Structures are given as structure tokens and as C-alpha cells.
Amino acid sequence: MDYLYDGSFDGLLTCIYHHYYNETAAGIYQQEYYQPTLLLSSVAVCTDPTLAKRVYQAIEDKISANALVKVYHVYLSSSPDKEELILNYLRLGFKLGAKVDLYHSHSAVYPVHKLDRKVTAETHRFLGLLRFRDSGNFLYAALSPDHHILTLLADHFADRLAGERWVIHDQKRNLAIVYDGKGHCRDNSLLQFKWYLTNFSYHMQADLPPEESHWQLLWQHYFQRISIESRCNPRLQSHFVPQRYRRHLLEFQIPPLKQ
């Protein structure tokens, strides 16, 4: 039996629940992309938050909190067979408990660790590579990441730019994190981050407030002045900032300055 879910994390966990308490899953697929076959029947699983919660808790208790984070990261990845990887990993995990993560080179563990590292690495990368511009009313940043990392970025910026209103827009997935600047609170204990994830396909106007152009120009100059010509090493630079990320990076949008 193939299980089909709606694409949400809760949906995926609900499938895992049915795998254990109803019929074993031959595979789990996102409904949208499922290709029916003649050999296997399939069922669209209705997402149930209470069942999902129980699986969530079970992973944390019977395997480890760490494993839960890994599973979530793999779910956020854009790997086409992520559901299968998660299922294999959890099956082994429920057998072995927390020890599962010691089997680094096991075929059910290695791919999960690898994807987890990729998603974590991309998140970390975008903590730096994100660029905001000040539209006058709010800060706006666009990105097109390989993996769906928006929710992993949100807390960082909600703390760092606590007093600002901002939008972080994933243009690949037409989603955005919106933050209204109200989580700003002088009493540290009450600091709460009020951001939410939403569909978003708005396109920012190209013309910028003069104030914004001023700071952008300064940044572009800075970027070029800080480089040492006799150490020039474009290959190394490409290694750290791959071409696919440069579209959203202000400093890569300019012709070289005169020395």
C-alpha cells in the first residue's frame, strides 16, 4: 500500500503512524507528485495532528530529540526520495533507539545524516547571504534556496532585527516569512518572536528610495575595495558563493570599479 500525504510535516508523520498501526507502507509520497501504478493500491491519508503529535513524541522519546531534528531537516530538503529515507531511518531508529546515529555508514542512516548536513549548511549559509533592502516601510529580502529553509532562518532574524518589520521571500516556492516588529520587547523574559509563514508572490518594485540606493552603492564599493588584487582567486570565490546564489546578491550585480 502506498500512502499519500498533503506535503505537510504532520501529514508525513500521520502516514508513519498508519504504517505502524494499520497496513505497512510500501512507500510514502506527496499526493501532488504521485504517479499511480497498476501493481500497488494507494490511499490518500488525511492529516491528523493528534496522531502526528504521537509519532513526534515517540521519535523524541524512543530515539532522540536529535533524531527528530534530523527527520525534520530531511523533510525540508528537496530530495525526491526523502519520504523513503525518513521511513527507513525511523524503522531502524525504533529498533535501535538513540544508538541509531552511531551507525554513520549504514545505508539507512548515512543518507539521512548527509541530507541533514546539507540543509543545516544551507541554512547557515543564508544567515550570511541574505540581503535586505529598505523599501521605506519594511525590510525585504529575496532568496531561491535549494531546500525549504525559511522556517529555519526565521528565529535568527526575529532576534537580530527584533525592532524592524521584515519579509523574507522564497521566490522558488512562493512563500515568505513575515515579521511585524512587535516581538520587540525590552523585558528579555518576554521576548517572543512573532513571525509567520505565508504564501507570497508579490514582486517588489525596481525603483528604490534614494536613501536605499545610497547604502547599496556604499556596500558595492566596500565589497570591491576590500579585495586584494594580487590574491585574486575567482575559483575559490565560486566555491563559497556558487553562481546560483549570486542573482540575489547586490555585490555581484556591478561592473568592476576603477582602482
Partner 1 sequence: MDVLTKLDILAGAAKFDVSCSSSGVARKNQGGTGNAKLFGICHTWSADGRCISLLKVLLSNDCVYDCCYCVSRRSNNIPRASFTSRELADLTLQFYRRNYIEGLFLSSAVEKSPDHTMEKIIQVLTLLRKEYEFHGYIHVKVIPGADPSLINRAGMLCDRMSVNIEQPTEHSLRLLAPQKSLPILYASMQQLKDQILLYKDDRRHFHRTPRFVPGGQSTQMIVGASQDNDLTILHTTQALYKNFGLKRVYFSAYVPVNQDSNLPALTSVPPLLREHRLYQSDWLLRFYHFKAEELVDANHANLETEIDPKSAWALRHPEYFPLEINRASYEELLRVPGIGTKSAWRIINQRRVVAISADQLKKLGVVFKRAQYFVTCKGIYPGNMPYNPAAIRRLMLPKPSFTQMSLF
Residues that bind partner 1 (CB under 8 A): 99, 101-105, 110, 124, 127-134, 139, 141, 157, 159-164, 184-186, 188, 191, 215, 217-219, 221-237, 239-241, 249, 251
Residue with Cβ nearer partner 1 (25 or 67)? 67
Please state the closest distance from residue 35 (CB atom) to partner 1, in A.
31
Q: How far is CA 161 from CA 8, 64, 122, 130, 178, in A?
A: 28, 32, 21, 13, 12
CA atoms of 100 and 90, how far apart (whole Å)? 9
Per DSSP (E only), the strands in the chain are 2-5, 27-30, 42-44, 133-134, 139-143, 166-170, 175-179, 195-199
Give the bridge partners for 168, in sequence order: 141, 177
Q: Give the nearer residue to partner 1 in terms of CB position, either 20 or 117.
A: 117
Q: Cell for 121?
A: 549548511
The nearest distance, CB 99 to partner 1, in angstroms, is 6
Smallest gap from Cβ 128 to partner 1, in A, equals: 4
Which residue lies nearer to partner 1 by CB, 27 or 183?
Answer: 183
Query: 1 or 161, CB closer to partner 1?
Result: 161
Nearest approach, Cβ of residue 237 and partner 1 (Å): 5
**Separation between Cα atoms, residue 77 and residue 11, nearest integer Å:** 16
The residues facing 42 across adjacent strands are 2
Shortest Å distance, C-beta 105 to partner 1: 4
- Is residue 52 a contact partner of residue 17, using CB atoms and an 8 Å limit? yes
How far is it, in rounded angstroms, from Cα 40 to Cα 165? Answer: 50
- Give the residue with the Cβ less far from partner 1, 22 or 99: 99
